[in-house]
Structure 1
Amino acid sequence: MKKYSTVLGTLNSVISRYDFKKIVDLHDGDKGIRTLSTDLLLKTMTYAQVSQAFSLNEVIATMHSQHAKLYHAGMAPVKKSTVADALAKRSSDIFKDLFYQLLGQAGTMHTPNHRFRNPLQIIDATTIDLCLSRYDWAQFRTTKGAIKLHASYNSDSALPNYVQLSTGKLHETNTLLDFPRKKGDIMVFDRGYNNYKSFHKLQLDDVTFVTRLKKNARVRTTLVYHKNPDGPVLEDAWMKFTQDSAEANYPDLIRVVTYKDPEHGKVYRFLTNNFDLPAHEIADIYKERWQVELFFKWIKQNLKIKTFFGTSKNAVWSQIWIALIVYVLIWMMKVLHGIESTFQKIMQVLKLTILDRRDISELFHPPPPSPISSNLWLFEGAGN
């Protein structure tokens, strides 16, 4: 009889114990800890994410009911108060650092297949509402609490390149230059990131940006490169900002592509500093921006990042970083085991089998039925 690790063990097997310990030691994660090591906290929270437990009470109760399975996963039942205390006090930077380490590992497993000429970074942020009376550190408006997850997403690999967590007060216009970038990169984002000074810095860094021109932007046309009333590219023009503040912050020429969506008939005005890419490709780049919206939608629906097991900032940050770690672990498992199922299907299977001792490959690539079992239908009803 074959002996298998638990599904949770297989999922976590890509995490280097040596490297994780270095991260934990760097942040004194296990200093003075007796009952719940950071490794066990990570496993417990990974279980909580995959099982999609409603509350910490549910996590603890289901773990206690599966005592034998926990043993094979290298875990043990824990008290709710112990987990809650660890989430509040164990530095969330431990899980942030582990997320980025795993992201680096995942990057080596992906062969770039750029749809566009250069690497594309899709920039966006999603807001998660919080009850201000419980999360007073996350004040967004007078009576509302919120946090934001800012991300640079690679639609080619289906992985984020960079993630930043903040309270809801941090506006996107002040975050654009926080995203790591390299010469030649393409960055696409919506009008919420409109900041001409930041745009000019991207221009100086030789980074292409694609966004939409604000409706109230004042511009003067210097050259019409292309004009066709029948579209879909209605106009491709070189322009300059005329408003004093905009012109001072972005004194160079800009390119505005006016595009009519053939499917919906809506007209868009795209703003870019790239004068070489075909106009239709500028439109295609902006269309790709919706991929990050799908990413945000998926993690909100399938990972526990809208309700939290703790109320402190550290507990919330830790839970989100661990959720993102789980996303990367699933991505790596999908690649390593050649799993063609969607992320949605994988999560459904993991939820039901996370503590089982099963072969991951057989979960998603079931063996063909044996000749005997495949012929059993011949005898159905024989005794009637």
Structure 2
Amino acid sequence: MDKNTLFSSFGKWVAPINIMKLQQRIDETDQDKYVKKLTTKAYLLLFLHAQLQQREGLRAIADDVLSKKFQQELGLSSISPAQLSRKNNRVEPALLEEVFVDLVQQIQRVSGKACSLRKHIKIIDSTTIGLCLQKYKWATFRETKAGIKIHLRLVFASQEDVYPEKISLTCAKSNDRTQMESLIDEIGAMYVFDRGYVDYEKFDEYTDQGIFFASRLKDNAETRHLYTFKVPPESSVLSDSMILLGTPQKRVD
């Protein structure tokens, strides 16, 4: 995608953001009090663009402001990496969270009945973001590294429509299982997650509550087959069995 196409489309990409509502919240919280250059709105647009272009580092993000067309979108003519760093520290995360929640609600209203039953399939996974240990000692991960972990719940509405629905943040050393209660909460939905979320006690609770789930098993998981169901020859399913999962001391009933 060339730059002309990018900047002519950028306004359409960010159009769903309720800028008036965001500005109202900024005014209520005095987020931009005494700010003369890099407003919270400009900050948000700049970093959304950086995400789309997969920029690495504040210097590369600052260089994007050199484009005349992008300057019109942001309302500023230049910015330095140091200014971006300071703004990162000052922006209230709750404001950005409100933008995210509002966008999710818009998607849900638009998708509505147009989506098939696949909208009840929810995918859960986590990713770790490394941080500088000297600056983020509260997020100590390893001896020489700090980090946070983003736990994300995606809704699989269709082959073309997958959107984020819920996010939680923890320190990187936090186990994935600690977020199961906040991410897996809808009766009748089908949750798909990796083995980092395997918890036999929780599996029993989900079964009793009518929450469906599919997960990869850990390499050392013990299983005992009770019954094997027939699978049609043309099916992509390799096998379908009823099993007991876990040891007699700790297993899924």
State the TM-score, normalized to the length of structure 2: 0.77
Partner of 1:8: 10
Shift of 1:121: 0.9
Partner of 1:179: 183
Matched AA of 2:116: N
Partner of 1:48: 50
- Partners of 1:182 and 1:203 lie apart in 2 by 12
Matched AA of 1:177: E
Shift of 1:201: 2.8
Identity of aligned residues (%): 25
Partner of 2:241: 236
Structure 2 matches for 1:34-183, cutoff 5 A? 34-63=36-65, 65-66=66-67, 68-70=68-70, 72-80=72-80, 81-110=82-111, 111-115=114-118, 119-133=120-134, 135-155=136-156, 156=158, 157-183=161-187
- 2:128 partner SS: strand
Shift of 1:21: 2.4
The unaligned stretches of length 5 or more in structure 2 are: 1-6
Q: 1:218, 1:243 within 8 Å by CA — same for their partners in 2?
A: no
Matched AA of 1:95: L
- Partners of 2:216 and 2:10 lie apart in 1 by 44
- 2:117 partner SS: coil
Partner of 2:198: 194
Q: Which deviates further from its counterpart, 198-207 or 51-60? A: 51-60
- Partners of 1:188 and 1:180 lie apart in 2 by 10
User: Cα 1:226–1:96, aligned 2, differ >3 Å: closer, same or farther?
Assistant: same
Partner of 1:19: 21
Matched AA of 1:108: R
- Partners of 2:151 and 2:192 lie apart in 1 by 14
Structure 2 matches for 1:290-369, cutoff 5 A? none
- 2:130 partner SS: strand
Q: 1:130, 1:147 within 8 Å by CA — same for their partners in 2?
A: yes
Q: 2:168, 2:179 within 8 Å by CA — same for their partners in 1?
A: no
Matched AA of 1:194: V
Q: Which has the larger radius of gyration?
A: 1
- Partners of 1:55 and 1:212 lie apart in 2 by 35
Matched AA of 2:201: K
- Partners of 1:241 and 1:51 lie apart in 2 by 46
- Partners of 1:28 and 1:145 lie apart in 2 by 31
Matched AA of 2:48: T
User: Cα 1:99–1:201, aligned 2, differ >3 Å: closer, same or farther?
Assistant: same
User: Cα 1:30–1:226, aligned 2, differ >3 Å: closer, same or farther?
Assistant: same
- Partners of 1:32 and 1:206 lie apart in 2 by 53
User: Cα 1:88–1:227, aligned 2, differ >3 Å: closer, same or farther?
Assistant: same
Q: 1:6, 1:73 within 8 Å by CA — same for their partners in 2?
A: no
Q: Structure 1: which 4+ aligned runs deviate by more than 6 Å? A: none
Structure 2 matches for 1:207-222, cutoff 5 A? 207-218=211-222
Matched AA of 1:76: L
- Partners of 2:194 and 2:59 lie apart in 1 by 40
